[in-house]
């Protein structure tokens, strides 16, 4: 690979697909295709793009796993003991989450939001918690923030449901879309840990401070956590902004793109 290479990973499109990727970049606020300098021990991704404010455009829907049926007749309550959760397979874990009453969030939920995607994915993206639309549909990131996340994935040649899994720190919607409280995050932590153990991803992307703080187990600002490869139980973890924050703070889209470039380099290293 030459000193300067296009941001691409295994399976990245070429030819006419390159034009589509440039279109995706424009939609997340990047005006031209950025180029990365091959990572070394002392090099950072080279930033050579600007970030105009561009409107969101909904992309074609990705092929994704259907939400788990969660009617009372279809759900069997399972013990919430951490030791039992740590031995669960995917179907048992999904049923346990669907029946969970471990914290007060269950009382007002319409349905739990377990997670979605490829259960053998190399890439895991973790947000904070479901919003109103996610609570309705039982799937994470389905509103405007989800459209932006899909565009961010497409910009680095990824697609929801294909080598990508998406989850949240909590599985039920916090009232008013507030941040999850500590006890709520702790109640869900064993479920997320088991999802990660079953997935065994090559890289975790923490979307926003809530996800970063809960996965890393320490309080810190996004600014202080970006641009580094952290460790989550032996798995590399990178921190970037939550898509909902980027919708409110358009200039930081350029910083999020830096983080995606950094993540691509980290993934390439993990695959070598």
List the one residue out of 69, 189, 59 whose CA is nearest residue 138: 69
Average pLDDT over all residues of the chain: 81
pLDDT of residue 78 exceeding 60: no
Domain presence at residue 25: no
In this structure, is the dihedral angle defined by the CA atoms of residues 27, 32, 37 and 41, taken in order, positive or negative? negative
What domain range includes position 186? Answer: 65-271
In-domain check, residue 198: yes
Q: How many domains does the chain have?
A: 1
- Judge contact between 215 and 126, C-beta under 8 A: yes
DSSP reduced 3-state for 23: helix
The pLDDT of 68-84, averaged and rounded, is 57
Residue 71 covered by a domain: yes
37 lies in a domain? no
pLDDT for the residue numbered 27? 61
What is the pTM for the complete model shown?
A: 0.76
Question: Rounded to an integer, what distance in angstroms lies between the CA atom of residue 256 and that of residue 206?
Answer: 12
Residue 255 lies in a domain: yes
In-domain check, residue 20: no
Read off the tokens for 202: 């090559």
Does the pLDDT of residue 245 top 50, yes or no?
yes
Residue 267 lies in a domain: yes
> Which CATH number do you get for residue 204?
3.40.470.10
Mean pLDDT of the 73-78 span = 41
Q: Of the ranges 18-27, 44-53, 98-107, 207-216, which one carries the lowest mean pLDDT score? A: 44-53
Asked if residue 178 is part of any domain, the answer here is: yes
């Amino acid at each position: 690979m030459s000193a300067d290479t296009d941001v691409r990973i295994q399976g990245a499109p070429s030819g006419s697909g390159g034009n589509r990727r440039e279109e995706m970049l424009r939609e997340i606020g990047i005006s031209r295709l950025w180029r990365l300098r091959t990572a070394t021990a002392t090099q950072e991704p080279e930033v050579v793009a600007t970030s105009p404010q561009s409107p969101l455009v909904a992309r074609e829907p990705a092929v994704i796993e259907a939400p788990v049926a969660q009617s009372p007749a279809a759900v069997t309550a399972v013990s919430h003991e951490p030791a039992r959760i740590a031995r669960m397979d995917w179907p048992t874990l999904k049923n346990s989450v669907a029946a969970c009453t471990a914290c007060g969030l269950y009382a007002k939920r319409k349905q739990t939001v377990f997670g979605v995607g490829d259960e053998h994915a190399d890439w895991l993206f973790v947000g904070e918690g479901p919003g109103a639309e996610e609570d309705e549909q039982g799937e994470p990131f389905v509103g405007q923030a989800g459209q932006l996340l899909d565009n961010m994935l497409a910009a680095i040649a990824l697609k929801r449901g294909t080598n990508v899994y998406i989850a949240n720190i909590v599985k039920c919607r916090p009232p008013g879309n507030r941040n999850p409280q500590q006890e709520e995050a702790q109640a869900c932590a064993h479920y997320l840990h088991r999802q990660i153990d079953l997935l065994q991803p090559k890289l975790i992307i923490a979307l926003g401070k809530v996800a970063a703080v809960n996965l890393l187990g320490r309080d810190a600002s996004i600014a202080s956590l970006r641009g580094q490869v952290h460790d989550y139980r032996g798995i590399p973890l990178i921190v970037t902004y939550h898509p909902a924050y980027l919708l409110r703070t358009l200039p930081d889209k350029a910083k999020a793109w830096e983080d995606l470039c950094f993540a691509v380099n980290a993934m390439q290293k993990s695959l070598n």
